[in-house]
Amino acid sequence: MTDLKHYNKVLTDRRSYLMDKSDQFEHSGDEPFDGNSEEVSNLNVLDDLDEMAQSEIRAIDAALGRIKDCSFDDCVTCGDPIGAERLKTLPHTPFCKAHAP
């Protein structure tokens, strides 16, 4: 049986970490732009990282919702168990190995 309290904590902690990082990304571009092309490149990388963080936050929120409705460890595609090793590696995944994109 899956330890839902454990995964709730893991996911909540990861979400908090990503929210903090996202706030840092948001404030990293507050300085005036001096025309430096390297700075533009760095800002693009930060934007990409922030988009990835936001995407993971959405996946975590969905996983926390599945914990609440007791479907956390069931594949959203087929309903089969996701598997303990897969959840350990990727706790916010909604898919079993067979249906992983």
Mean pLDDT of 68-83: 96
Question: What's phi and psi for 26, nearest 5 deg?
Answer: -60, -40
Q: How far apart are CA 85 and CA 1, in angstroms?
A: 13
Mean pLDDT of 15-36: 71
- Tell me what pLDDT residue 32 has: 56
The reported pTM is 0.78
- Which residue type does 12 have? T
Instruction: Report all structural domains of the chain as residue ranges with CATH numbers, in order of start.
Output: 4-24+40-99 (1.20.120.910)
**pLDDT surpasses 60 at 33:** no
Write the pLDDT tens digit of every residue in 36-58: 555 555 566 667 778 888 999 99
